[in-house]
Structure 1
């Protein structure tokens, strides 16, 4: 198992890709902190994983609330003594074309998807610096690389996450901390499953592998970047998109 003895904090860990990452990391021996705003789902998923014998702790986390983040990190450190791996996975969408986009929705997506990544990393990285070790994985998106119709706010945040990743790689590499990003493509989540079948088929046809990604596909990429196998991978954006727009 690749993560024995490691402690990982995964934001947005109660659903979708984040939940798949919690499951995958637990399977590989990690102590997993499932951090999510959704208490009901988070507690239920924590119990299910514990019943399978995994070491998982759910903590409610609002990535926009810095005081809540501080309390979450303090509880994680009190419980496990360290945080080796941070997966900045939490994110939201509020899609609309530019002319129809509500400024409130624009700001909400920036708050969670961009400022939330800043908030969580700023709270956790000092503990990594003290240990001289850490793995930080940020979640970007193909929308942040290529843009996407109706996603002015989302694409802007995911492009900015790439900038954060490159900058933090320069700042922390000499201190023993790897910083990378994953850029998922079209992935089967609850949001996608609610789309009309015609739209889903159009999404599949744009992908070279002719299928949508699964949350586990993305979780496996997180796992690689969190493991010792990627110790010389730094400042990289790993596209996990089935070969879209090659």
Structure 2
């Protein structure tokens, strides 16, 4: 796989996104990491650059088209056309459906679904011009199986799967593949925060119910992204690749 292809990873400052950034950077790709976490962006991008990797960082709220396009303009100027997008940025929170306010619902959709729309659509002109592109969205097994107290999250992530499949059909003939990974339980700062708040069970408890009895890692997801972005995956599109230890099979 060519290592001069420019990669954009949203939610790239921690958790799954950081694992993906590290994997592509280690493989020699120029990588732009986008996130709302300013301090984490600075710390992690400086760490990676100190290791000799070509990494840029941008504070971006993916629900803002203006912020996404401003970051992309800088990426194109400094690194070149965007070839690979990993749309990972998202939020999750446990709230009983009856207590979900209109504003809470809208925020979930704005970040988890519309954010993917912005992230992907703004990069497509580069891929269409090159007749080559890889789009990988990060959905969730909650979109497939549902999740108690997370109906709004499940709905937004199900939308990501639908969007992925629609784009896969629309852009297949132009050399652009579009696939999604719906993780289940992954050991990330977001999961740890949920555990501390009491809205998410301890990972060792959940692991007892996973056929491969451990939580996933950002590296597990990053390895799948690496494959889906490779030339070897040129005949793979519209796929929901369940990197979940067998927690959801269907």
Paired residues of 2:15 and 2:190 also in contact (CA < 8 A):
no
Give RMSD over aligned pairs: 1.4
Q: Which residue matches 1:189? A: 188
**Unaligned residue ranges in structure 1 (runs of 5+):** none
Q: Which residue matches 1:141? A: 140
Cα deviation code 1:45-84 (max 9, x no counterpart): 1100001111101112111111111111110111112111
Cα deviation code 1:127-179 (max 9, x no counterpart): 11111110000111100111111111110011111100110011111111011
Q: Output the CA distance in 2 between the equivalents of 1:5 and 1:81.
A: 9
Q: Output the CA distance in 2 between the equivalents of 1:233 and 1:99.
A: 40
Q: Which residue matches 1:121? A: 120
Structure 2 residue 238 is the aligned partner of structure 1 residue 235: yes
Q: Output the CA distance in 2 between the equivalents of 1:85 and 1:232.
A: 16
Paired residues of 1:3 and 1:28 also in contact (CA < 8 A):
no
Paired residues of 2:187 and 2:203 also in contact (CA < 8 A):
no
Cα deviation code 1:72-125 (max 9, x no counterpart): 111011111211100000000132111122322211111000000011111110
TM-score (structure 2 length as normaliser): 0.94
Paired residues of 1:109 and 1:154 also in contact (CA < 8 A):
yes
Paired residues of 2:141 and 2:248 also in contact (CA < 8 A):
no
Runs of 4+ in structure 1 displaced over 3 angstroms? 196-199
Q: Output the CA distance in 2 between the equivalents of 1:198 and 1:110.
A: 24
TM-score (structure 1 length as normaliser): 0.96
Match among 221, 224, 237 for residue 221 of structure 1 = 224
Aligned residues: 245
Paired residues of 2:30 and 2:54 also in contact (CA < 8 A):
yes
Q: Output the CA distance in 2 between the equivalents of 1:95 and 1:104.
A: 15
Change (3 A) 1:242 1:3: farther
How far apart are 1:3 and its partner, in Å?
4.9
Q: Which residue matches 1:31? A: 30
Which segment is superposed worse, 167-176 or 60-69?
Answer: 60-69
Q: Which residue matches 2:130? A: 131
Paired residues of 2:94 and 2:149 also in contact (CA < 8 A):
yes
Match among 198, 203, 207 for residue 200 of structure 1 = 203
How far apart are 1:198 and its partner, in Å?
6.0
Change (3 A) 1:69 1:198: closer
